[in-house]
């Protein structure tokens, strides 16, 4: 927004407006960054999508929606809905329920649209996550399965939680434990971790308590020596970790960046 104005626009990397300020700001009006070539815009409580010209290619019509991923976007087609960011299935995901008093109005139903705004399937889901690697996790009732880009169910609901695929594996939950499944729904790493993250660059962070984490490979084996008080996914060959405390008072807890061999590139 320009100083003193109340309209959103978009600037390019030189700082010049590529899309002039034209979108209102308020409780029912907002803008989001571009993802996958389109940006989500909320107008008077309805969500649509613009292209780089700033024109709507999908008119505001959905109760809610998220950014495009893998050329598809999840939208809410039935409601009204209330957004509870603290509810979820152990993945810290938001949860939508029907109306301000749950059960008194139509619960939210989710589906997906392509970049023309076409709804890809007549099926409606109780919840859903992004498409990634051609598949999306969807919840039917209390269990999660996966659909393909036609909306066909390719893995029947069987998990207590499921996340988008990363490195051909989905982080899944059974009861209170996390593991990983492949695109067929077969479990490749048995649910056994209290904490787990998605795979990135061939590694995933897992743990069994809030200050005890390590890295596994796609076979579920520990391949990086050491355990950490906190750990992040690898990005461009490096991961940020918090070093465990020691009994030596002269060796205070600190932080480090490690490479994929576990070597500390630097500490601080």
Last residue of a domain, one of 156, 178, 197: 197
How many domains are there within the chain? 2
Q: How far apart are CA 207 and CA 205, in angstroms?
A: 7
Instruction: Identify whether the C-beta of residue 55 lies closer than 8 Å to the C-beta of residue 72.
Output: no
Listed residue (256, 233, 224, 259) closest to 243, CA to CA: 256
Last residue of a domain, one of 197, 212, 244: 197
Domain holding 266: CATH number? Answer: 2.40.10
Q: What is residue 60's three-state secondary structure?
A: strand
Cβ count within 10 A of residue 28: 10
Q: How far apart are CA 68 and CA 195, in angstroms?
A: 28
Radius of gyration of the chain (CA): 21
Cβ count within 10 A of residue 236: 6
Q: One digit per residue, pLDDT tens: the chain, 268 residues?
A: 999 999 999 999 999 999 999 999 998 999 999 999 999 999 999 999 999 999 999 999 998 999 999 999 999 987 766 655 444 433 334 455 544 444 455 678 899 999 999 999 999 999 999 999 999 999 999 999 999 999 999 999 999 999 999 999 999 999 999 999 999 999 999 999 999 999 999 999 999 998 899 999 999 999 999 999 999 999 999 999 999 876 666 665 699 999 999 999 999 9
Beta-bridge mates of residue 173: 161, 178
The helix/strand count (H/E) of the chain reads as 0, 26
- Residue 229 sits in the same domain as residue 258: yes
Percent of residues in the chain assigned helix, strand, coil, to nearest 5: 0, 50, 50
- Residue 170 sits in the same domain as residue 256: no
Listed residue (25, 29, 31) closest to 11, CA to CA: 31
- Residue 184 sits in the same domain as residue 202: no
- Residue 64 sits in the same domain as residue 147: yes
Cα three-residue angle 238-244-247, rounded to 5 degrees: 150
Q: What is residue 42's three-state secondary structure?
A: strand
The verdict on residue 240 lying in a domain is: yes
- Residue 188 sits in the same domain as residue 210: no
Q: What confidence tens digit (pLDDT) does each residue in 200-228 have?
A: 999 999 999 988 999 999 999 999 999 99
- Residue 80 sits in the same domain as residue 178: yes
Last residue of a domain, one of 178, 197, 216: 197
- Residue 167 sits in the same domain as residue 217: no
Residue 264 belongs to what domain range?
Answer: 198-268
pTM (two decimals) = 0.86
The verdict on residue 245 lying in a domain is: yes
- Residue 179 sits in the same domain as residue 110: yes
The verdict on residue 2 lying in a domain is: no
- Residue 193 sits in the same domain as residue 208: no
- Residue 32 sits in the same domain as residue 153: yes
- Residue 125 sits in the same domain as residue 54: yes
């Amino acid at each position: 927004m320009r100083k003193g104005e109340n309209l959103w626009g978009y600037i390019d990397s030189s700082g010049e407006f590529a899309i002039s300020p034209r979108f209102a700001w308020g409780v029912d009006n907002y803008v989001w960054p571009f993802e996958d070539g389109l940006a989500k815009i909320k107008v008077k409580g309805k969500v649509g999508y613009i292209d780089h010209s700033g024109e709507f290619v999908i008119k505001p019509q959905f109760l809610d929606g998220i950014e495009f991923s893998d050329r598809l976007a999840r939208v809410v087609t039935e409601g009204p809905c209330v957004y509870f960011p603290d509810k979820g299935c152990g993945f810290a995901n938001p949860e939508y329920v029907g109306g301000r008093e749950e059960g008194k109005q139509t619960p939210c139903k989710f589906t997906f649209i392509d970049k023309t705004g076409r709804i890809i399937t007549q099926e409606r889901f109780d919840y859903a996550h992004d498409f990634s690697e051609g598949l999306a996790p969807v919840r039917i009732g209390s269990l999660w399965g996966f659909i393909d880009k036609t909306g066909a169910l390719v893995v029947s609901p069987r998990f207590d939680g499921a996340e988008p695929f990363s490195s051909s594996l989905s982080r899944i939950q059974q009861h209170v434990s996390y593991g990983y499944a492949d695109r067929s729904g077969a479990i490749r790493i048995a649910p056994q971790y209290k904490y787990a993250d998605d795979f990135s660059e061939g590694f995933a962070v897992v743990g069994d308590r809030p200050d005890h984490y390590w890295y596994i490979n796609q076979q579920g084996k520990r391949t990086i020596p050491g355990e950490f008080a906190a750990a992040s996914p690898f990005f461009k060959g490096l991961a940020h970790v918090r070093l465990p405390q020691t009994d030596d008072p002269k060796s205070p807890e600190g932080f480090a960046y490690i490479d994929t061999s576990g070597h500390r590139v630097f500490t601080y």
